[in-house]
Amino acid sequence: MEDKAQIQEAIKTQGEVVRKLKSEKASKEQIDEEVAKLLQLKARLGGDDGKHQFVLKTAKGTRDYNPKQMAIREKVFKTIVSCFKRHGAETIDTPVFELKETLTGKYGEDSKLIYDLKDQGGELLSLRYDLTVPFARYLAMNKITNIKRYHIAKVYRRDNPAMTRGRYREFYQCDFDIAGQYDGMIPDAECLKIVYEILSELNLGDFRIKVNDRRILDGMFAVCGVPDDKFRTICSTVDKLDKMSWEDVKKEMVNEKGLSEEAADQIGEYVSMQGGMDLAERLLQDQKMSQSKQACAGLSDIKLLFSYLQLFQVTDKVVFDLSLARGLDYYTGIIYEAVLTQAGVAPVPAEVQNGAPAEESVSVGSVAGGGRYDGLVGMFDPKGRKVPCVGVSIGIERIFSIMEQKAEASAEKVRTTEVQIMVASAQKNLLEERLKLVTELWNAGIKAEVMYKKNPKLLSQLQHCEESGIPLVAILGEQELKDGVVKLRVVATREEVDISRADLIGEIRRRTSEA
Amino acid sequence: MEDKAQIQEAIKTQGEVVRKLKSEKASKEQIDEEVAKLLQLKARLGGDDGKHQFVLKTAKGTRDYNPKQMAIREKVFKTIVSCFKRHGAETIDTPVFELKETLTGKYGEDSKLIYDLKDQGGELLSLRYDLTVPFARYLAMNKITNIKRYHIAKVYRRDNPAMTRGRYREFYQCDFDIAGQYDGMIPDAECLKIVYEILSELNLGDFRIKVNDRRILDGMFAVCGVPDDKFRTICSTVDKLDKMSWEDVKKEMVNEKGLSEEAADQIGEYVSMQGGMDLAERLLQDQKMSQSKQACAGLSDIKLLFSYLQLFQVTDKVVFDLSLARGLDYYTGIIYEAVLTQAGVAPVPAEVQNGAPAEESVSVGSVAGGGRYDGLVGMFDPKGRKVPCVGVSIGIERIFSIMEQKAEASAEKVRTTEVQIMVASAQKNLLEERLKLVTELWNAGIKAEVMYKKNPKLLSQLQHCEESGIPLVAILGEQELKDGVVKLRVVATREEVDISRADLIGEIRRRTSEA
C-alpha cells in the first residue's frame, strides 16, 4: 500500500535528525522521542528492517488480565459486590493519585513503598497506597459524618513482588467501611459478618478470622514494661508472628529494638493466647492486664463484639488472638484479619513448591483485614473533628490466584463471551444476508456474532462456536432464504431444525434463557 | 479516652525532632514526614490544637465520584458493556502504568501530556494515555492475531482541564476493538453500528457519526500540493475545524505552517464537503482527487463501508465528512467521530453559560471516536509483524456530565443503595432481636439494613427509609415477638400488615421483585 521508497527516504531524514541530536548532546527524552519516530517509520516498512529494541513487558510487579482471568475476576467481584449491597452499602470512587501530602504520615514505616509521580510542574502527586486514606480525605473534604460505602479499585505499593503468591505492585482492594458515631461494636460486628459471608460464598475452603484490639496490645505492652516510645515499633515486630517464629520475633525485640528480655518474655506469654469471649473474660481478671485501663476497655469491647457475633451466627470462625497486630499506624481499636486454613488450596503453584519445598507449609496469608480507625478523618479536618470509622478490605489478588488454579484444575471450560448464537452461511455470497440477520438479532437484544469474511467455510464457523462455547448457530443457505426459514443448529448435540424467520428470536431466547 | 498530658509530651518531643531536621537542612521529604507525624499527634488532641495546613482537595483535573454519580456511572457502564457483549466481545485489563518507552513515539504532539512516574530506582514508568497503545502492546506481547475485546478503564492526560464540560485529567475510556486479518470494512462497519446502538440507548438526543479516511486526507493533501513532510502537521490543523472557523484554520496553515495560499484554498474546498456514498462516488470521478491512488483506495472503502452500514440500518446518522482528521498519529485508514447535535443537552451548566455566553454555541464535542490502526501492533512486534486493528472509544465523561444534569433536572430520585427492607423496632431493648432478624434476612439473600444504635427512635428509622428510598420496614415490638409475627410497613403508602416470621422472606421477595 505505502510507497516504500518514500518511507525509506523519510527514514534517512529521521536518522539524520537522531544523529544530530546525539551529537548535540540533546536530552535523553528528546532523543528517545525521535528514535521512536524512526522505529515507527521502520515498522511501516515491515520485515526485517522493522526490528525493534523494545522491551515487550509490563512494569515490574504488574500483569495484564486476559479474558479468562477477567471472567474469573468478574465472578469474584460479583459475589463481593452483592454482599456489600446486601448490607446496604453505597459506592464511591476517588482518583488513582492524591496530593502527596494527603498520604504523608499515614503509613508509618511503609511510606517508603509509595509511588510518587514525577514533578512535571504543578502539584506533587502520589499513587494511592490504599483506599482508606482517600476515603478519610473524601469524608473530611465533603464534611460527611456518616456513610456506609464500598470501594473497589487498584492500589499501588513499591513492594517486593511475589507474583506466584498473588503479591503484586498493582493490586485490587475491595473495601467496605462504616463511618459514623454509633453504639459500640455493632458496625464492627457487621464488618466481620461480611468477611464471613464473602469467604463462605467464594468457596475457598475453611478459614479463620483473627480478632484483637489495638488498646489491648498497647495495654499489654504497658503492663509488660515496654517504654511508651517503643509501642509502635514493638507492635510492628509482633505483627511478624505470622511469618516468623516466636524465637526470631523475640530476638528482634531484644537485639534490634532494645527491649529487655524480661519484657519480651512477658509479651511472649500473652501473644500465645487464643480463644473466644471466655479469653476476654479471663484477661479482664488477669492481675497484670487488668491494671491497664486501655486493655480493659479493649477487652470489654471484645466481649460485646462476641455477643453480637453470636447473633450474626459467625462465632465458629472467629478467634480472639493476642498475637494479631497489623502494621498500619491508623488503627485505634478493634483489628482483624482472615486467613485460609485449608492446605488443599495453597496458592503456591506446584513448580514453585517443588523448587522451594519450605513454601508448602507457609500459610496462605491474609485474605481480608481491617479494623477501627477513629482518628484518621480528624487528621484531614481543619478543626480536627473526628469521624469514627471501621472497615474491612478484601485481599482479592490472593483470592484470584486460588480461583484461577481451581479453574485450571477443573475440567469445566471458562467462557469469556456470552454470545448466544452465531449467524453462519452454508454457501458463498451470503454476506449481505448474514449481516441483515445479525442486525435483526442485535436489534432484538440477542448476543450474536458473524464472521468478518465474505465467504467463510461452514466448518470454520462451526469450529469457532465449539471453541468459544457458543450454543447455537443460525445457518443460512439459498434454500432457507427461499423458504423464509433459518436452520437452527444446537452446537452440543448437532441437532438441526428449520425455524421460520418470524419465530427465530423467540426460539433463541427460549433455548438460551437458562444459560 | 487518650491521655492528653501524654500526647502533649509526645508533641513536644516531635516538635524538637522537626526543628532539629530543619536546622540540619534535612531533605524536604524527611521534614514533611516528621511534620505530618506532628500534625497527627496534634489531631489526636482534637480541638483547636489540631488545626492543619492540609490542602483538602483532589489533584488538579480529577474528581471524586459520590454515590449518586456512581449510580449514574454504573447505569451508563451497564448499557455500554451489554452492547459490547451483545457484539461478542471479551474483556481484558492492563496495568495503569506502562514502561515509558512503550508509550514513546505513539502520540505525536500530544506526547507532552503523558504523566511520568518519579524515578525511584528501577524502571521508568508512565501512566497510560489511552487504552489503544496498551492493547497493541498486549497483542504483540502475547502474539495474539485476532481478538474482539472491550476494555473500560481510566486514562491520564496532563491537559488543561475543563471540568464543567466533562474534560478531566483522569477519565474513563470505554474501548471496543477488533484485531485480525478480515475482509475489508466488515469490522469497521460493526464499530459504527456499536456507536449507533450505544448513543441511541443512552438516550442523549440526536447525534451524527462523521466518517473519513486517513488515506483520503493524505491523498487530498498530495493533490492540493501539500509537501510530503507537512502532511501530519497540516492534518493536525484540519483537525481543529470543529473548534475554529475555516478562516482561522487557513491562517494557521499559511502563516504558522508555511503552506501556500493556493494549496490552503484547495484544501478548503474539499473539507467543506459532506455526504454519503454518493459523495464518495463523486470524488472517485473528481479530476484532481482521482489522481491519488491512496485517495481512491480510501474512497472505494468508504463506498463499501456505506453498503454495510445500510445492512446494519445505521446510515441515517452517518455522514462522510472530509473535514474530519483526528489528532492521533497511529490511524492508517478509516476514522470516525460521533457528536451530539441536539442543543437541548449541551453539557455546559447554566452558570458557565451566563458567564461566557459564547460557550452556548460551542458544540458538545465528540462523545465517541476511533478508526483503523493497522501499523501499531507491528511497532511492538520484534519482527514487525502487523495485526490489522479497528476500534472505537466511547468518551464517557461527557456522557456522564449530560446524564448527571438530566438526573438533577428530573424529579426522580436516584437511589444509591438497593436495600429492600429496614429492620426496625418500636420499643427499647430490642437490639438483639433486630440483629437476629436481620441475620435471617441476610442469610436468605435479602438486602437489609439495621440501625447501629441500641435504642433508635422509630421515627428516625422510618426517616432513614424515606431518605434512602428503602421500600419496606420490618417493625419488631414486644407484641409482635410474642405473636411470632413482624409488622411489615410499606414506606410509600404507610400501609402496615402483620406477617408471620415463616412467611416474611417470601413476602419481601414478592413485594420487591419488580423493584
Give B199-220 pLDDT, tens digit per residue.
Answer: 999 999 999 999 999 999 999 9
Model confidence at A25: pLDDT above 90 = no
Contacts of B448 in chain A (CB under 8 A): 86-88
- Are B211 and B319 in contact by the 8 Å Cβ rule? The answer is yes
Q: Quick one: residue A22, left, alpha or beta (phi over 0 = left, psi -120 to 50 = alpha)?
A: alpha
Model confidence at B506: pLDDT above 80 = yes
Q: CA A178, CA B462: separation in Å to the nearest integer?
A: 20
Write out pLDDT tens, residues B471-496: 999 999 999 999 999 999 999 999 99
Q: How confident is the model at residue B514 (pLDDT cuts 50, 70, 90)?
A: low
A364 closest CA partner among A405, A315, A333, A329: A405
> Which of A329-333, A380-384, B266-270, B408-412 is modeled with the greatest confidence?
B266-270
Model confidence at B132: pLDDT above 90 = yes
Write out pLDDT tens, residues A163-199: 777 789 999 999 999 999 999 999 999 999 999 999 9
Q: CA A66, CA A387: separation in Å to the nearest integer?
A: 41
Is A88 in Cβ contact with B419 (below 8 Å)? yes
Closest residue to A95, CB basis, from B170, B180, B432: B170
| Across B11-22, average pLDDT | 83
B389 closest CA partner among B408, B407, B406, B370: B370
Write out pLDDT tens, residues A95-128: 999 999 999 888 877 889 999 999 998 899 999 9
Q: How confident is the model at residue A225 (pLDDT cuts 50, 70, 90)?
A: very high
Is B439 in Cβ contact with A313 (below 8 Å)? yes
Closest residue to B96, CB basis, from A42, A170, A378: A170
- Are B130 and B174 in contact by the 8 Å Cβ rule? The answer is no
Is B140 in Cβ contact with A312 (below 8 Å)? no
Q: CA A486, CA A499: separation in Å to the nearest integer?
A: 5
Is B119 in Cβ contact with A119 (below 8 Å)? no
Closest residue to A97, CB basis, from B59, B65, B228: B59
Model confidence at B163: pLDDT above 80 = no
What is the average pLDDT value for chain A, to the nearest integer? 89
Mutate to test the interface with B, among A42, A86, A101, A420 (most CBs of B within 10 A): A86
Closest residue to B56, CB basis, from A54, A115, A380: A380
Contacts of A435 in chain B (CB under 8 A): 186, 308, 311-312
Query: What is the pLDDT at residue A48?
Result: 46
Query: What is the pLDDT at residue A189?
Result: 98
Percent of chain A exceeding pLDDT 70 equals 92
Q: For chain B, state the CA radius of gyration.
A: 30
Is A59 in Cβ contact with B99 (below 8 Å)? yes
Is B116 in Cβ contact with A116 (below 8 Å)? no
What is the average pLDDT value for chain B, to the nearest integer? 89
- Are A382 and B47 in contact by the 8 Å Cβ rule? The answer is no
Q: How far is CA B431 from the centre of its chain?
A: 43
Write out pLDDT tens, residues B407-433: 888 877 889 999 999 999 999 999 999
Q: Which amino acid is at A374?
A: D
The x, y and z cell numbers of residue A375, run together, are 482518628
Is A447 in Cβ contact with B94 (below 8 Å)? no
A311 closest CA partner among A277, A270, A269, A351: A277
Q: Cα distance from A361 to chain B (closest Cα, Å)?
A: 31
How many helices and strands in chain B, by DSSP H and E?
19, 16
| Across A23-45, average pLDDT | 75
Residue A375 in 3-state DSSP?
coil
Q: How confident is the model at residue B42 (pLDDT cuts 50, 70, 90)?
A: confident
Mutate to test the interface with B, among A58, A181, A453, A505 (most CBs of B within 10 A): A58
Model confidence at A156: pLDDT above 60 = yes
Q: CA B237, CA B244: separation in Å to the nearest integer?
A: 10
Closest residue to B116, CB basis, from A85, A120, A453: A120
Q: Cα distance from B451 to chain A (closest Cα, Å)?
A: 9
Write out pLDDT tens, residues B50-96: 444 567 899 999 999 999 999 999 999 999 999 999 999 999 999 99
Bridge partner list, B156: B170
B376 closest CA partner among B329, B335, B334: B329
- Are A98 and A125 in contact by the 8 Å Cβ rule? The answer is yes
Contacts of B49 in chain A (CB under 8 A): 384
Packed helices A431-443 and B293-311: angle between N→C axes, nearest 10 degrees: 50
Is B193 in Cβ contact with A311 (below 8 Å)? no
Query: What is the pLDDT at residue B18?
Result: 84
Model confidence at A267: pLDDT above 80 = yes
Residue of B nearest to A440 (CA): B312
Is A70 in Cβ contact with B91 (below 8 Å)? yes
Q: How confident is the model at residue B138 (pLDDT cuts 50, 70, 90)?
A: very high
Is A94 in Cβ contact with B64 (below 8 Å)? yes
Q: Cα distance from A161 to chain B (closest Cα, Å)?
A: 13
- Are A83 and A198 in contact by the 8 Å Cβ rule? The answer is yes
- Are A322 and A220 in contact by the 8 Å Cβ rule? The answer is yes
Is B95 in Cβ contact with A63 (below 8 Å)? yes
Is B439 in Cβ contact with A140 (below 8 Å)? no
Contacts of A156 in chain B (CB under 8 A): 96
Q: Cα distance from B79 to chain A (closest Cα, Å)?
A: 12
Model confidence at A515: pLDDT above 80 = no
Contacts of B187 in chain A (CB under 8 A): 452
- Are A58 and B140 in contact by the 8 Å Cβ rule? The answer is no
Contacts of B52 in chain A (CB under 8 A): 379-382, 384
| Across A475-483, average pLDDT | 95
Is A417 in Cβ contact with B104 (below 8 Å)? no
Is A182 in Cβ contact with B453 (below 8 Å)? yes
Residue A355 in 3-state DSSP?
helix
Mutate to test the interface with B, among A66, A124, A173, A309 (most CBs of B within 10 A): A66
Bridge partner list, B127: B97
Query: What is the pLDDT at residue B346?
Result: 45
Q: How confident is the model at residue A5 (pLDDT cuts 50, 70, 90)?
A: confident
- Are B12 and B3 in contact by the 8 Å Cβ rule? The answer is no
Closest residue to A40, CB basis, from B182, B313, B379: B379
Q: CB burial class (10 A; 0-12, 13-18, 19+) of residue A412?
A: exposed
Query: What is the pLDDT at residue B54?
Result: 63
Per DSSP, A54 falls in state: -
B367 closest CA partner among B254, B205, B221: B205
Contacts of B190 in chain A (CB under 8 A): 452
- Are B176 and B150 in contact by the 8 Å Cβ rule? The answer is yes
pTM for the full predicted model: 0.85
Model confidence at A306: pLDDT above 70 = yes
Taking CA atoms, B459 is separated from A124, B455, B456, B475, B512, in Å, by 48, 12, 8, 12, 23
B105 closest CA partner among B419, B328, B267, B428: B328
Query: What is the pLDDT at residue B472?
Result: 97
Query: What is the pLDDT at residue A201?
Result: 96
Contacts of B116 in chain A (CB under 8 A): 117-118, 120
Closest residue to A88, CB basis, from B59, B140, B449: B449
Q: How confident is the model at residue A357 (pLDDT cuts 50, 70, 90)?
A: very low
